[in-house]
Structure 1
Amino acid sequence: MKKKLLSFAFLFLTSFCFSQDHSKIIDSLKTVIFKKPSDSIKIKAYGDLCWYYRTESIDSAFKYGNLALKLSKETSNQVGEAQAYNDIGILHYNLADYKKALKYYDASLKIRSVLKDTMGIAALYSKIGLIHQNTFKLDSAIFYATKALKIYEEKNHTRYIAYIKSNIANIYRGLKQYQKALETHLEIADVNKSINDNLGLTRTYNNIANAYLFLKDTVQSEAYYLKSIDLALKYNYKKELAGLYNNYGGILHDMKKYLEAIDYNTKSLKLREELKDSYGITSTSLHLAGLYLDLGDFNKARNYLYEGLNLSKSFNINELKMDAYDKLASYYAFKRIPDSVLYYRQLFKSINDTIYNSRITKEIAEVQEKYNSAEREKEIQTQRAEIAEKELKLNRKNTQIIGLVTLALLLFLLGYLLYNQQKLRNKQLQKESELRQALVEIETHNKLQEQRLRISRDLHDNIGAQLTFIISSIENLQYGFKITNNKLKGKLTDISAFTKETINELRDTIWAMNKNEITLEDLQARISNFIDKANISASNSNFRFNMDEALSKELVFTSVRGMNIYRIIQEAVNNAIKYADASNIEIHIKKKYEAVVFTISDNGIGFDINEIEAGNGLSNMKKRANDMDATIIYKSQIRKGTKIILSV
């Protein structure tokens, strides 16, 4: 039995209620617009008019679809814009202008993706899949259909799941997996019955009939076509009925019931012209051309052939162009014009190669197949056997390749697992090493801390006690004996004062040694204590100390760094008191970028930085700054005071 291209089920694009009087709905929608409603309601009304006009007047449908799109853009209504693109895409789809339909579907898909409108996205995936299905891009068709199915399964929409599975089954049919397509359609029929989806059941019966036809079971195919036709007539599903008449006409054609086939195809053509179904008109015209060829009515055959060819070219429908070229070759074979036969067979072969892009088949002799001798039939069978043998070899090679790829994947997986295991082992060893290092550092730190505590205790208990004893002895000498020598008396007083200062410095050192870290708050308190003492000893000087509130008192320095900062401030203040004869001494602590800045300024006599030789005080401050990787700047002018800036 000769296989024919059958029409696809156009899901989501057919109205569920053709019997409804659209003119009344259209009038009521126009009344709504006349009352000047809000923009959102007007956009909805324009969209509905686009939908209902699509079967009444395609020009009006485009008019209202474009009005909905324009107003949606002007009012930044993304929902309306996405719907308008969708509706206009459907109009182009119904005209078989698949390129423009795909353009509008893509525009709608971008907006709905931003809006996260999952149901709208699923519907668009389904429509895009149907475009690829109708243009024989079956890999893309199944890709988009599967994406739509996944969304509907997540949402548990039984009706839509059945529709998408039906489309996927039709793709299986296009891939020549007829048994798989049939099983899927039979499963869908049970779902349609369970949810009383008569439209879905009508389409499914049609698809089952198609599957049986490809499996060469004409009896079952005819039975399901008739079941589907009965449902379509009962519920007035015009679009489905048009396709069914066309397909059933194909069955009658194969049964050589040409006049009955012409009757059904003529009914199909009339309905498709009424529905303005460009694809269907083209397909049915070519079916009628084939019937008239078989009846020998070449004039009618020629008219339908060129009508079908022109339509297929205008809509760029490759599979229908193939059918037209095939039948034209048959027509010119009947007319015994071999040049034209070869011309149209070459056109047929060119498109066939473009569509399948896998193997080049020699089908130029297809027209002669009906008329050549038994020897020619035998030659064709031999060619088919050779092709089958090549396919078998190709399948074997594919199996070998799959086996090798699988083996390579297993080896890669094993290697990856071993690599990962070694990587984890290395990481574990590294962590163990880091842990051991940390333990060693902690132990060393603890030992150092113990040593520091021991030294600080020794300093306090021994050196501190000895210094205190010296002070006490000097004071006893001063008060126990009447010393009349003023020079000696002054010397003893100086020694006593120096010793007391040494005790204070010793206490500062012990304070720093007893701490692992010195907070800014600790440093502030220490500086305040020092200033209080300096204020007592230098009664002619005024002291001012402030700290920027932006600085956190929890800021931490190491004990060495904290002690160095304190000593630099101490040295700077002492210099201002002893050498600068300053009446105002200020200490400021503030934050500047990522640094803490300590500024000690006075209004003393100052000095020339370029001429003065750096004494121990300035040298010590600079050395301490260098030790803690800080910067220190001296600014001074004669009789204008001195400013020391330490940035840590």
Structure 2
Amino acid sequence: MMTQFRILYVLLFFTIYTFAQVKEDKSIDDLNVKALKIYPSNSREAIQLLEKAEKIAKSKNLQLSLAYTYNNKGIVTRVIGDYPKAIEYSKKALSLTKDALIVASSQNNIGACQRNMGLYEASLKSFLTALKIYDAKKDFLNQAIINNNLGLVYKSLGVVEKAKSYHQKAIEAYQKINHKKGLSEAYNNLAIVYVEENNLEQALSYFKKSLDFEIQLNDKRGMAESLNNVGGVYYYLEQTDSAFIYFNKALKTEYSIQNFAGLASSYNNIGDVHLYKENYVAAKKCFDSAFYYAKKSKSAFDIENTLNYYALLYEAKNDYKMASEFYKKKGVFHDSIQKLSNVKQLQELETKYQTAKKDTEIAQNRADLAEKELKLKKKNTMIFGSLGFAFVLGLLGYLLYNQQKIKNSQLIKEAELKEALVKIETQNKLQEQRLQISRDLHDNIGSQLTFIISSIDNLKYFDIAKEKLVSKFDDISGFTKNTITELRDTIWAMNKSAISVEDLQIRITNFIDQAKLATQGISFDFSIEKNVNASHEFSSLEGMNIYRIIQEAVNNAIKYANATQIKILLHQEENKMIFSISDNGIGFSETEIELGNGLNNMKKRALELKANLKINTEKGNGTIVTIVKEIG
């Protein structure tokens, strides 16, 4: 069964784009309209038509028509996967006009390109700028489109509930106006959320609905994406023959419209089927093609996806060195993308926008109420006299009651907002922990590889029979494979909100067992005293730092101490959890050695833990490393 991590990379997203229209020159308008009608299936001809419109607009010095044409070129260029060039065209449009509809359409197109390039903060700003314009004009169709796009940004960030909320709003709006393209997109995006929740049957149903709409519309790009999505769910269900059929149909369709990003995704999907069937040569060819088109389109999603598939391919072929290299490349690339976007800033940006919008609406309502009240007072004074006074008193009473009702409603909304902000803050803390843990991946893998090299070097000092030598190499090979397993374990830990003492016990025990296999003449002992609260939980970052310090101390004892015995003990004293790692080796003097990365890393991790790290050692008398962590 495929893991959920991999299937998400099989799926695609697509976005409906808003269009602005001008009536400055009929020939220019006609060329633009014709281009926008044919561009999904015939992008080249669409670009040619828009270039004709551009020449006419320049020759007549029609700035508004030129801006309109530039933005439409940006939309078509984005659809074929050239995101930087698409942004350039839409920015040209913004530089030529302040027309609200063209500005909104340009910002929406720029936001979609930025999202595909992994620039999530910039993307959210662009979408919110467009939404503000459509809100002011009460343009319900385009409001739905922007809501759908905002859902895509939050989906990319892993904020699933936010994504579902925005996509559901879009579906309801599209149903009211029977907008087939919008419904196709909304069903597609909601299906992806169901994949996140592992509800595959529901996801497959929605993906097929999306595909039906695309076939009705004869939108080849939309058809290709929907075909890939349906194939992805079949693949997850291990119905690989059905998946292969849908992926190949998608590939042919992407070639017909020369969609580079789509070609990258389709090649990855087909290569994954070959990988599943252990046809490694065919899989490698597909991934090479996918990487070529991913780089050509500058699609961050497809580049990272292809690097992941390369690693999986080499791992399946037992080439763990190459697999490790590609995992590292993927990690470096992912970190570079994450630095460009901060979830907390994005959430705050949207909150500011929504708050400003509500303030404007409240101010407008107050102004309207004041105007109505003044008219009523004048009319009642003229007609009813003294009766008008009583009426005014009744009206004022009603207004006070209504204001109190509005105030109560506002207090409820503020409470809901505070609750949402608390949830967002919690998510951001977890995200920060996961980013810090991901930075430790390279350090961990490096230390394990150093340990493997040390074990191999130690073989030179023993006269070992051939059979034992072969067995020893097998042990070291097994430990090398466990290096890859350790990488997966760390990724798993990133998805945990807490690591218990029991979790640490299992991880440390596994590490000790592997160390026993890879060393000779060293005995290991790991024990936990009965008074230790085994159910106590550390944060994921604290748990990983504790484990890394213990791992570093053991590795140092093996490599440098010439020890024959290494002991690890965990005990508890009231509100303190104490880990000690001791050996009977030669010890060292901190004043006589230059502190290396190992000791520096241990001290750095202890500072992050807010724990006390003690290293007691002297030459000839062994070493004791103690970690003292206060617990609540």
- Shorter-chain TM-score: which interval? 0.5 to 0.7
Counterpart Cα distance in 2 of 1:112 and 1:372: 61
Question: Is the 1:242–1:267 contact (alpha carbons within 8 Å) kept by the matching residues of 2?
Answer: yes
Aligned pairs for 1:282-301 (under 5 A) are: 282-301=264-283
Aligned pairs for 1:24-63 (under 5 A) are: 40-52=25-37, 54-55=39-40, 57-63=42-48
Task: Output one character per residue of 1:215-240: Cα deviation in whole Å (capped at 9) or x when no partner.
Answer: 22223222222332333334434332
Question: Is the 2:19–2:102 contact (alpha carbons within 8 Å) kept by the matching residues of 1?
Answer: no
Alignment partner of 1:66 is 2:51: yes
Question: Is the 1:65–1:84 contact (alpha carbons within 8 Å) kept by the matching residues of 2?
Answer: yes
Aligned pairs for 1:62-461 (under 5 A) are: 62-113=47-98, 117-357=99-339, 358-359=435-436, 360-361=438-439, 362=441, 380-381=488-489, 384-385=492-493, 388-389=497-498
Counterpart Cα distance in 2 of 1:13 and 1:277: 20
Bigger Rg, structure 1 or 2 = 1
Counterpart Cα distance in 2 of 1:135 and 1:376: 29
Question: Is the 1:86–1:104 contact (alpha carbons within 8 Å) kept by the matching residues of 2?
Answer: yes
Counterpart Cα distance in 1 of 2:25 and 2:128: 33
Q: CA deviation at 1:82?
A: 0.6
Question: Is the 2:16–2:185 contact (alpha carbons within 8 Å) kept by the matching residues of 1?
Answer: no
Counterpart Cα distance in 2 of 1:381 and 1:58: 45
Q: CA deviation at 1:372?
A: 10
Counterpart Cα distance in 1 of 2:54 and 2:216: 37
Q: CA deviation at 1:166?
A: 0.6
Which residue identity lines up with residue 63 of structure 2 in the other structure? Q
Question: Is the 2:294–2:302 contact (alpha carbons within 8 Å) kept by the matching residues of 1?
Answer: yes
Task: Output one character per residue of 1:369-425: Cα deviation in whole Å (capped at 9) or x when no partner.
Answer: xx9999986885476447634995889xxxxxxxxxxxxxxxxxxxxxxxxxxxxxx
Which residue identity lines up with residue 120 of structure 1 in the other structure? I
Q: How many residues align?
A: 365
Alignment partner of 1:9 is 2:118: no
Question: Structure 1's 341 and 100: CA in aligned 2 closer, same or farther, altered over 3 A?
Answer: same
Q: Secondary structure at the match of 2:4?
A: coil
Question: Is the 2:254–2:263 contact (alpha carbons within 8 Å) kept by the matching residues of 1?
Answer: yes
Q: CA deviation at 1:285?
A: 1.1
Which residue identity lines up with residue 10 of structure 1 in the other structure? T
Using structure 1 for the length normalisation, give the TM-score: 0.52
Task: Output one character per residue of 1:286-313: Cα deviation in whole Å (capped at 9) or x when no partner.
Answer: 1111111011122221221111011111
Instruction: Structure 1: state its 5+ residue gaps.
Output: 16-37, 366-370, 396-648
Larger RCO: 1 or 2 (CA < 8 Å, sep 6+): 2
Question: Is the 2:493–2:540 contact (alpha carbons within 8 Å) kept by the matching residues of 1?
Answer: no
Q: CA deviation at 1:53?
A: 5.4
Q: CA deviation at 1:150?
A: 1.4
Question: Is the 1:39–1:75 contact (alpha carbons within 8 Å) kept by the matching residues of 2?
Answer: no
Counterpart Cα distance in 2 of 1:189 and 1:76: 41
Question: Is the 2:53–2:69 contact (alpha carbons within 8 Å) kept by the matching residues of 1?
Answer: yes
Question: Is the 2:184–2:214 contact (alpha carbons within 8 Å) kept by the matching residues of 1?
Answer: yes
Task: Output one character per residue of 1:225-284: Cα deviation in whole Å (capped at 9) or x when no partner.
Answer: 233233333443433222111112111111111111111111222222223222111111
Question: Is the 2:214–2:220 contact (alpha carbons within 8 Å) kept by the matching residues of 1?
Answer: yes
Q: Secondary structure at the match of 1:216?
A: coil
Counterpart Cα distance in 2 of 1:250 and 1:59: 29
Instruction: Structure 2: state its 5+ residue gaps.
Output: 340-434, 446-478, 500-537, 543-632
Question: Structure 1's 14 and 83: CA in aligned 2 closer, same or farther, altered over 3 A?
Answer: closer
Q: CA deviation at 1:104?
A: 0.9
Which residue identity lines up with residue 11 of structure 1 in the other structure? I
Counterpart Cα distance in 2 of 1:313 and 1:210: 25
2:509 is matched with: none
Which residue identity lines up with residue 80 of structure 1 in the other structure? S
Counterpart Cα distance in 1 of 2:127 and 2:116: 13
Question: Is the 1:182–1:212 contact (alpha carbons within 8 Å) kept by the matching residues of 2?
Answer: no
Question: Is the 1:135–1:318 contact (alpha carbons within 8 Å) kept by the matching residues of 2?
Answer: yes
Counterpart Cα distance in 2 of 1:222 and 1:96: 26
Question: Is the 2:116–2:300 contact (alpha carbons within 8 Å) kept by the matching residues of 1?
Answer: no
Seq. identity, %: 21
Question: Is the 2:131–2:146 contact (alpha carbons within 8 Å) kept by the matching residues of 1?
Answer: yes
2:608 is matched with: none
Counterpart Cα distance in 2 of 1:208 and 1:132: 21
Question: Is the 1:249–1:264 contact (alpha carbons within 8 Å) kept by the matching residues of 2?
Answer: yes
Question: Structure 1's 308 and 14: CA in aligned 2 closer, same or farther, altered over 3 A?
Answer: farther
Question: Structure 1's 379 and 333: CA in aligned 2 closer, same or farther, altered over 3 A?
Answer: closer
Counterpart Cα distance in 1 of 2:481 and 2:187: 40
Question: Structure 1's 307 and 379: CA in aligned 2 closer, same or farther, altered over 3 A?
Answer: closer
Counterpart Cα distance in 2 of 1:336 and 1:374: 12
Counterpart Cα distance in 2 of 1:275 and 1:221: 27
Counterpart Cα distance in 2 of 1:189 and 1:60: 32
Counterpart Cα distance in 2 of 1:145 and 1:11: 13
Task: Output one character per residue of 1:573-592: Cα deviation in whole Å (capped at 9) or x when no partner.
Answer: xxxxxxxxxxxxxxxxxxxx
Counterpart Cα distance in 1 of 2:157 and 2:38: 36
Question: Structure 1's 345 and 13: CA in aligned 2 closer, same or farther, altered over 3 A?
Answer: farther
Counterpart Cα distance in 2 of 1:216 and 1:392: 26
